[in-house]
Amino acid sequence: MVASAFKSPWPRLGFGVGLRAEHYDDVLGGPPRADWFEAISENYVGTGGRPLDVLERVRRDRPVALHGVALSIGSAHPLDRGYLADLAALVERIQPALVTDHLCWTGVDGRSLYDLLPLPYDEPTLAHVADRVRRVQDVLGRRILLENPSTYLAFRHSTISEWDFLAALAERADCGILLDVNNVYVSAHNLGFDPLAYLDAMPAPRVAQIHLAGFTDMGTYLFDTHSAPVHEDVWRLYRYTIARLGPVPTLIEWDADIPAFGRLLEEMERAGREAARAETQTAEEIRDDIEGRTAAGPARAATLARGARAASEAV
Ligand SMILES: [Fe+2]
C-alpha cells in the first residue's frame, strides 16, 4: 500500500526489460510486449550499423532508457570528453526517457578495467562526485540517474553509509537514483548491513527507476551475475520498496545465461504482479514478513549472519 500520494517528477514507464542482441528478432518480430526497454549506451555510442538501426526501430514504438557502464563518475581522472560528446549525440538521436550510469569508477589513465569499482564514501568524495555529475548534466542538458553498485568490499576510511551517500549525492547534484534492489541485497549480504535500512534511506522524489536481477551464491559471498531469476528475498525487498515509494518504473536485467525472450517477459510480468501485490500491503506488513514474524525470517537472519562474517573480512 503506497504510503503517500507523492507525484513523481520522472516518467512513469511501467515494466521493461533490457534490450539484448540475442532478442533483437523477438523484439522486432511483433507488437511490443514490454512497456519500455533499456539499452546499454556503450553498445550504441559512436557506432552505427544494425544495433543502432534496431534501437531506433524499438524507440519508435516504446520509451527507451540509455544505461551506461563507462562514465566512471567517481574517477579522480578528468571526465572523458570524447565519450560524453558521443553520449550526448546518442541522447539527441534517441531521445531516451532516462539516462543512467553507476556510482563507481572504472579505470585510470584512460585505461578501463571493465568493472564497476567501489568508492570510499566520505565528504571529499561526495563533493567530487557531485561536481562531476553536475558537469555531465550540463553537457547532456538533462538530469541523469546513478545506480547503486553491487559491492564486495568496503573502505575502512568511509565515514558515510552508501545509502546516505547516494541520497546526499542526488540532492547535492540534483540527479536521480536508479535503485537496484538486487544490488542492495547482494551488498547487504556481502558487507553485513540491513537492506531495509538502505531502502528506508532512499528519497522518493529521487528514485526514478528500479532494477531487478538474479545473483549467484558463491558460498562465501553473493556475486551479481545477472544470470538467474530474481531471488525470492529480493522480490520481498522489491514489494517493500514499491510500498514505500509507489509505482517506480521497473526493469529486469538478465545478461548471462540469457533465456528465451518469453522467459524474460515472464520475469517482467512477475514484477508487475509483485508491484500490484505491494499496493495491497503496507510497508510495515512487508517489513514484518521480511524481519521474521513469518517464515521469511530465518532465511534473512541467516543471510545477515553470513554478511556480517563477510564484512569482518573486508578491506
Ligand atoms: Fe542494475
> Residues 35, 13: contact at Cβ < 8 Å?
yes
The CA 135 to ligand 1 mean position distance, Å, reads 23
CATH at residue 277: 3.20.20.150
Cell of 113: 578495467
Asked if residue 4 is part of any domain, the answer here is: no
> Residues 25, 50: contact at Cβ < 8 Å?
no
Of 4-13, 32-41, 65-74, 109-118, which gets the smallest average pLDDT? Answer: 4-13
The CA 141 to ligand 1 mean position distance, Å, reads 24
Domain enclosing residue 162, as ranges: 15-312
The CA 205 to ligand 1 mean position distance, Å, reads 19
Asked if residue 248 is part of any domain, the answer here is: yes
Model pLDDT for residues 128-160, shown as the tens digit of each residue: 999 999 999 999 999 999 999 999 999 999 999
Asked if residue 1 is part of any domain, the answer here is: no
Q: What is the spatial distance between Cα 138 and Cα 98, in angstroms, rounded to a whole number?
A: 15
pLDDT: is 205 or 293 the higher one?
205
The CA 273 to ligand 1 mean position distance, Å, reads 20
- What helix, strand, coil percent values describe the chain, rounded to 5? 45, 15, 40
The CA 234 to ligand 1 mean position distance, Å, reads 13
Asked if residue 9 is part of any domain, the answer here is: no
Question: What single letter denotes the amino acid at residue 132?
Answer: R
Percent residues over pLDDT 70 in the chain: 90
Predicted local distance difference test score (pLDDT) of residue 309:
43
Provide the number of structural domains found in the chain: 1
The CA 147 to ligand 1 mean position distance, Å, reads 7
The CA 32 to ligand 1 mean position distance, Å, reads 22
Predicted local distance difference test score (pLDDT) of residue 7:
62
Asked if residue 37 is part of any domain, the answer here is: yes
Model pLDDT for residues 184-238, shown as the tens digit of each residue: 999 999 999 999 999 999 999 999 999 999 999 999 999 999 999 999 999 999 9
Model pLDDT for residues 63-119, shown as the tens digit of each residue: 999 999 999 999 999 999 999 999 999 999 999 999 999 999 998 777 787 789 999
DSSP category for residue 87: H
The CA 184 to ligand 1 mean position distance, Å, reads 10
Asked if residue 10 is part of any domain, the answer here is: no
Q: Is the pLDDT of residue 298 over 50?
A: no
Question: Whole-number mean pLDDT of the chain?
Answer: 90
Asked if residue 212 is part of any domain, the answer here is: yes
Q: Is the pLDDT of residue 315 over 60?
A: no
Asked if residue 2 is part of any domain, the answer here is: no
> Residues 156, 146: contact at Cβ < 8 Å?
no
